[in-house]
Structure 1
């Protein structure tokens, strides 16, 4: 079951990659229903799609000023972040997710 889903996603991904678009979020429910995927399989599919994204959108309209400042500074600094700094930021964000 997951293999069929993976093949479908891979073909779709190849098609999207040529025009550099992300997998539409609506497709997850459609694919999950069509292939009767389990919750774990759906999570795997979403994780694979998330890891293939070439662009991330953050909606700032309802954000606090400090959240907006962090998002914008991160975007400005993104290309210059080295691996050590990225690991520290990721560890900090993962730690705050647990709280």
Structure 2
């Protein structure tokens, strides 16, 4: 099943008269790899936001839509903990362990804290 990222890419290909293979060639990957990413079987590579934006000369609003589709389509996330103290590392690990058991109110509380702490935060 296509992810939000997959739907974005499919529309982009249609708008540019391209096939999956054409986009895969531009991204320097195989068609099967691009298909796996679009179908949520693999994570979207971290550099594809800028690469696709540049290759297709996306507008700022299209770039935001692409970024959101990538974030929503991610299967996993790597967190860089180099340079963090043990207390911060423990916080990150506790959040990862307990997230699935948090109720919606607690998630909203955390979301509000994080969005409020980021300058120009967004949902």
TM-score (norm: length of structure 2):
0.63
Aligned to 1:7: 10
Aligned to 2:105: 84
Runs of 4+ in 1 over 3 A off after TM superposition: 8-14
- Counterpart-to-counterpart distance in 2, 1:15 and 1:67: 34
Of the three residues 74, 89, 93, the one matched with 1:53 is 74
Secondary structure of the residue that 2:118 maps to in structure 1?
Answer: helix
Query: Which runs of 5 or more structure 2 residues have no equivalent in the other structure?
Result: 1-7, 14-19, 21-32
Query: Over aligned residue pairs, what C-alpha RMSD do you find?
Result: 3.0
Q: Displacement of 1:53 after TM fit?
A: 0.9
Query: Which runs of 5 or more structure 1 residues have no equivalent in the other structure?
Result: none
Aligned to 1:70: 91
Task: Give the direction of change, closer, same or farther, for the CA distance of 1:66–1:44 in structure 2 (3 Å limit).
Answer: same
Give the number of aligned pairs.
96
